[in-house]
């Protein structure tokens, strides 16, 4: 037992004991690597882990931490279905490319689109035909001032001159297309 106790002996520091003074450095911020292993199979770009507490981490916090290179552990003080839903939200937001997007049928209405956008906290939905082929995209800008919730989405969506990318495109290529065409979404 004495060897275990010795492991915890020594000097401890509190937040007030440490002061970081800004100064000139030869090292550029982009050259600093803060990555750290979370586990044998998970490498973090930033050593930040949010606590699995109901007052700390649900999907919004997990998404925010992940976007900074860390990891958020969703708490378990909810039903299994609710946990799965929180994780699903995080997985949908984990990168700039959504591999399995929520889609709308061409027969849907403006009200359907608004409800889905609200439920999934998204700003655009690809519109597909009965065969699952892309026929357009509807965004929050298309619906911002729409008061006729029964209006067919086919009348509101952008269907002409769609800028698209192919399956397997990498994030860099997608960013280039977005910037080049000055668009926000790329189906």
Domain co-membership, 55 together with 112: no
Q: Is residue 147 in some structural domain?
A: yes
Q: Is residue 109 in some structural domain?
A: yes
Q: Is residue 20 in some structural domain?
A: no
Domain co-membership, 139 together with 88: no
The answer to whether the CB of 88 falls within 8 A of the CB of 164 is: no
Domain co-membership, 70 together with 130: no
Backbone angles phi, psi at 60, to 5 degrees: -60, -45
Overall number of domains in the chain = 2
The angle, 0 to 180 degrees and rounded to 10, between the axes of the packed helices 80-93 and 59-67 is 30
Domain ranges, residue 149:
104-181
pLDDT tens readout for residues 39-76: 999 899 888 899 999 999 999 899 889 888 899 999 99
Percent of the chain with pLDDT over 70: 81
Domain co-membership, 167 together with 116: yes
Instruction: Kindly state the tokens that stand for 149.
Output: 């919730």
Cα distance between residue 68 and residue 46, in whole Å: 7
Q: Report the largest interatomic distance among the alpha carbons of the chain, rounded to a whole angstrom.
A: 76
Domain co-membership, 110 together with 133: yes
- Specify the pTM: 0.52
Which CATH number covers residue 158? 3.10.580.10
Q: Is residue 43 in some structural domain?
A: yes
Q: Is residue 17 in some structural domain?
A: no
Backbone angles phi, psi at 37, to 5 degrees: -75, 135
């Amino acid at each position: 037992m004495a060897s275990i106790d010795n492991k915890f002996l020594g000097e401890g520091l509190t937040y007030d004991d440490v002061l970081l003074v800004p100064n000139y450095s030869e090292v550029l911020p982009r050259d600093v690597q803060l990555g750290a292993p979370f586990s044998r199979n998970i490498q973090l770009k930033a050593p930040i882990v949010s606590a699995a507490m109901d007052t700390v981490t649900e999907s919004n916090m997990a998404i925010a931490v992940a976007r900074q290179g860390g990891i958020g552990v969703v708490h378990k003080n909810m039903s299994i279905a609710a946990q799965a839903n929180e994780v699903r939200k995080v997985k949908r937001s984990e990168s700039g490319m959504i591999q399995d997007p929520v889609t709308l049928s061409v027969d849907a209405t403006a009200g359907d689109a608004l409800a889905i956008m609200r439920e999934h906290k998204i700003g655009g939905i690809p519109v597909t035909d009965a065969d699952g082929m892309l026929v357009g995209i509807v965004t929050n800008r298309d619906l911002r001032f729409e008061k006729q919730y029964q209006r067919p989405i086919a009348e509101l969506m952008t269907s002409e001159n769609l800028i698209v990318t192919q399956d397997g495109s990498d994030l860099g290529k997608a960013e280039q297309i977005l910037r080049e065409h000055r668009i926000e979404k790329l189906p």
